[in-house]
C-alpha cells in the first residue's frame, strides 16, 4: 500500500492513517440490492474481512489482512459474481468539506506517488449525494489533472489509461487510491459503464450484450453464425448483425420491422421448442429471456446440438427468487458436462439478473 496521511477536522495538522503493512483497504461496489451477495463472496476469499457500509445495499469499505497486491490477485483469480468494481484506499481522512481537501489530496500525491512524463492517467471521482462538500467531482478532477500536467507532464485521459487515480467522497470522509485499470475489475468509475444510445437502437437490452462483449473480452465480429433464442424485438440480434454475423433469431413474438428484411437474418417465428436446426451449425448462441431460469435452461439445452464444439454462449439468468448462488448451481447441474462456465457476472446493465459466459465442451 502507499502510505497516507489524514487531516484532523477543523485544523491544518496532518495525522497518519496508513493502513497496516499486513492489511489493505478497498471500496467495493455492486449493483443496487446485491451488496450482501458481493460481501458473502468476498468473505469466502478472506474469512477475516471487515466491512463498513457506505451506501446501503451498494457500496462498502472492506479491509483484508493481506497486502493490496495479494488481495487484488486473489479477487481477479476467483472473481466474485456480484462485485462490480473495487478501488484501493491508499489515503483517507476526515473531510473538511472545503477546498482544503483538494489541497491535501494534491499534496499527498506529490509526496507519495511518482508519475512519468507522457504517462496516461485517468482520474475517477465519485461523490455521495449526502456529501455537502463545496467542491464537485469535476473540480476534484481539475485539481489533479492540473498537477499531472504541470508537475509531471503526464497525460490526463478518460479511456485507455495506464493508471487510475480513484477518489471517493462521503459525507464525512475522503478516500483516494492508485491502481492499474484491470486491478479495479472495471476501468469505469464504480464499474458504471455507459454507452451512447443511438436513434436506430431497438432497445436498451443491447447494452447488456455490448457490456458482455467488453467485460468478457470477446469480439463478436470474429464469429460467423449466431443463434438468438427469445430474440424479439431484436436488440441483441441487431448488434450481432452490425458486427457482420449471420443470425438465426427465434421468437413467437414479432421482431422490429427494421430487421425483418435484413439479408443476414433468418427469423423463425416459433417457440424455441418447436424448431429443428442443423447439427453443429452455430459458433455463438445468445439468450436474453424474461423466463424462469430453469425453463430457459431447458430450452437452451434442447438446442445445444446446433452449437459447434468450442462454441460460445452468452446467457442472461433472471434472479426471480433472490437465490443467486443456488440458481447458478442448479443451472450448471442442468447443463451438465456439456457446457463449461467461463465466468458468471452481474453486469452494470443487468438488473435482477446475471450474465453467464459459457463454452460448449469439445466432443470427445
pLDDT at 132: 82
Amino acid 5: pLDDT: 33
pLDDT at 18: 47
What does the radius of gyration of the chain's CA atoms come to, in whole angstroms?
A: 23
Closest CA to 168 of 134, 115, 123, 106: 123
pLDDT, position 8: 33
Separation CA 322–CA 349 (nearest Å): 18
Mean pLDDT, residues 261-270: 96
CB within 8 Å of 59: residues ≥ 6 apart:
27, 28, 29, 30, 35, 53, 190
**What pLDDT does 343 receive?**
96
Of the two residues 205 and 348, the one the predictor is more confident about is: 348
Q: Do 169 and 275 have their domain in common?
A: no
Does residue 318 carry a catalytic annotation?
A: yes
Q: Is residue 109 located within the same domain as residue 69?
A: yes
Q: Tell whether 105 and 226 lie within a shared domain.
A: no
Percent of the chain topping pLDDT 70: 94
**pLDDT for res 323:** 86
Give the side-chain half-sphere CA count within 13 A for 248. Answer: 19
| pLDDT (0 to 100) of residue 4 | 37
Q: 16: which residues sit within 8 A by CB, 6+ positions away?
A: 3, 4, 5, 6
Flag whether 331 is in a domain.
yes
* pTM for this prediction: 0.89
Enclosing domain of residue 265: 205-360
- Does position 17 have pLDDT exceeding 70, yes or no? no
> Based on the domain organization, do 153 and 290 belong to the same domain?
no
pLDDT in tens, 95-112: 888 888 899 999 999 999
Task: Give domain status of residue 214, yes or no.
Answer: yes
Q: Is there a domain that residue 197 lies in?
A: no
Between 14 and 32, residue with greater pLDDT: 32
Residue 363 pLDDT greater than 70, yes or no: no
pLDDT range class, residue 291, cuts 50, 70, 90:
confident
Count up the domains in the chain and report the number. 2
Q: Of 136, 165, 191, at which residue does a domain stop?
A: 191
Instruction: Determine the average pLDDT of the residues in 280-302.
Output: 93
Mark whether 143 and 23 lie in a shared domain: yes
17 and 128 within one domain:
yes
Residue entry with cell 452468452: 314
User: Cα dihedral angle (11, 129, 68, 48), rounded to 10 degrees?
Assistant: 100
Report the CATH number that the domain containing residue 248 is assigned in CATH. 3.40.50.150
Give the chain's mean pLDDT: 91
Q: d(Cα 86, Cα 190) in Å, to the nearest integer?
A: 7
Residue 200 lies in a domain: no
Choose the final residue of a domain: 169, 191, 213.
191
pLDDT higher than threshold 70 for residue 320: yes
The answer to whether residues 38 and 71 belong to one domain is yes
Name the one residue in this structure whose C-alpha cell is 475489475: 185
Q: Confidence band (pLDDT; 50, 70, 90) for 203?
A: confident
Same domain, 155 and 295: no
Q: Are residue 142 and residue 175 in the same domain, yes or no? A: yes
Q: Report the pLDDT value the prediction gives residue 130, as an integer from 0 to 100.
A: 84
**Does residue 216 share a domain with residue 174?**
no
Catalytic residue among 127, 308, 318, 345: 318
Does the residue 157 lie in any domain? Answer: yes
Instruction: Give pLDDT tens digits for 51-109.
Output: 999 999 999 999 999 999 999 999 999 999 999 999 999 999 898 888 888 999 999 99
Please check whether residues 180 and 211 belong to one and the same domain.
no
Q: Contact at 8 Å (CB) between 237 and 247?
A: yes
Establish if 196 belongs to a structural domain: no
Assess if residue 353 is contained within a domain.
yes
Q: Which residues contact 209 (CB under 8 A, 6 or more apart)?
A: 235, 236, 239, 240, 286, 288, 314
Which of 191, 221, 255 is the C-terminal boundary of a domain?
191
Does one domain contain both 179 and 272? no
All residues at 6 or more sequence positions from 266 whose CB lies less than 8 Å from its CB, including other chains: 246, 247, 248, 249
Q: What is the pLDDT of residue 279?
A: 96
Does residue 99 form part of some domain?
Answer: yes
86: domain CATH number is: 3.30.2130.30
pLDDT digits (tens, 9 = 90+) for 163-199: 999 999 998 899 999 999 999 999 999 999 999 887 7
Which pLDDT value is given to residue 12?
33
Amino acid at each position: 500500500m502507499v502510505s497516507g496521511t489524514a487531516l484532523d477536522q477543523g485544523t491544518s495538522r496532518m495525522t497518519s492513517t496508513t493502513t497496516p503493512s499486513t492489511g489493505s483497504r478497498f471500496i467495493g461496489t455492486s449493483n443496487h440490492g446485491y451488496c450482501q451477495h458481493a460481501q458473502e463472496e468476498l468473505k469466502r476469499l478472506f474469512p477475516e474481512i471487515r466491512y463498513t457500509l457506505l451506501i446501503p445495499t451498494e457500496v462498502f469499505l472492506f479491509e483484508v489482512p493481506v497486502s493490496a497486491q495479494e488481495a487484488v490477485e486473489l479477487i481477479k483469480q476467483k472473481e466474485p459474481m456480484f462485485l462490480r468494481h473495487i478501488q484501493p484506499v491508499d489515503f483517507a481522512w476526515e473531510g473538511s468539506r472545503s477546498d482544503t481537501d483538494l489541497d491535501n489530496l494534491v499534496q499527498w500525491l506529490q509526496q507519495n506517488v511518482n508519475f512519468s512524463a507522457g504517462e496516461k492517467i485517468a482520474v475517477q471521482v465519485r461523490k455521495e449525494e449526502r456529501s455537502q462538500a463545496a467542491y464537485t467531482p469535476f473540480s476534484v478532477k481539475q485539481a489533479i489533472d492540473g498537477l499531472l500536467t504541470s508537475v509531471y507532464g503526464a497525460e490526463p485521459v478518460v479511456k485507455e489509461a495506464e493508471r487510475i487515480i480513484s477518489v471517493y467522497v462521503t459525507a464525512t470522509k475522503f478516500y483516494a487510491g492508485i491502481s492499474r485499470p484491470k486491478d479495479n475489475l472495471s476501468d469505469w468509475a464504480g464499474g458504471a459503464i455507459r454507452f451512447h444510445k443511438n436513434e436506430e437502437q431497438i432497445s436498451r437490452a443491447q447494452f447488456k450484450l455490448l457490456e458482455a462483449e467488453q467485460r468478457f473480452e470477446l469480439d463478436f465480429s470474429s464469429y460467423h453464425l449466431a443463434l438468438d433464442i427469445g430474440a424479439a424485438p431484436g436488440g441483441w440480434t441487431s448488434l450481432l448483425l452490425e458486427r457482420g454475423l449471420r443470425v438465426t433469431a427465434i421468437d413467437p413474438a414479432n421482431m422490429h420491422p427494421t430487421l425483418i428484411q435484413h439479408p443476414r437474418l433468418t427469423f423463425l417465428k416459433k417457440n424455441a421448442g418447436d424448431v429443428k436446426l442443423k447439427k453443429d451449425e452455430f459458433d455463438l448462441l445468445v439468450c436474453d429471456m424474461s423466463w424462469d431460469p430453469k425453463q430457459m435452461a431447458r430450452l437452451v439445452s434442447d438446442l445445444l446440438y446446433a452449437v459447434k464444439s468450442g462454441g460460445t454462449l452468452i446467457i442472461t439468468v433472471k434472479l426471480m427468487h433472490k437465490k443467486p448462488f443456488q440458481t447458478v448451481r442448479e443451472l450448471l447441474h442442468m447443463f451438465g458436462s456439456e457446457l463449461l462456465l467461463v465466468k458468471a457476472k452481474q453486469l452494470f446493465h443487468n438488473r435482477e439478473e446475471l450474465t453467464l459466459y459459457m463454452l460448449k465442451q469439445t466432443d470427445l
